[in-house]
Amino acid sequence: MNNTYQRDVYVAIADPTRRKLIRLLADSDELPLYELTPHFQIGRTAVSKHLAILKEADLVTNRKIGRETRYRLNAAPLQEIKDWLSFYEKFWNERAILLKNILEE
């Protein structure tokens, strides 16, 4: 039996702290925890827990270099969200065109 737990990508990005972590990692190749922590009003342990949730959703990978753990963004799972949102973008674009046509009549 496989005990590996895959966290839902939507759950992982629901929290603003995790979205900020994703943004910080998107702007860098990889960052250690000590460079990420100062960007938040929470402690190192809390940031580490948020990174673990992102890792469970496969949004973050990490590697050890000596005693330091470095984190890197894996943006591939975000494609699922992009695909889901693209349907609604089409929906709202069609509604905007319809509204424009009605207002022009």
Residue 17 has pLDDT above 90, yes or no: yes
CB atoms within 10 A of CB 54: 27
Indicate whether 84 and 56 sit together in one domain: no
Indicate whether 47 and 12 sit together in one domain: yes
Per mean pLDDT, which range of 8-17, 73-82, 88-97 is the poorest? 88-97
Indicate whether 65 and 35 sit together in one domain: yes
Per the structure, the complete domain to which residue 27 belongs is given by 1-74
Sign, CA dihedral 31-34-35-38, equals: positive
For the stretch 54-90, pLDDT in tens is 999 999 999 999 999 999 999 999 998 988 888 888 8
Indicate whether 69 and 82 sit together in one domain: no
Residue showing tokens 């938040």: 40
pTM confidence score: 0.78
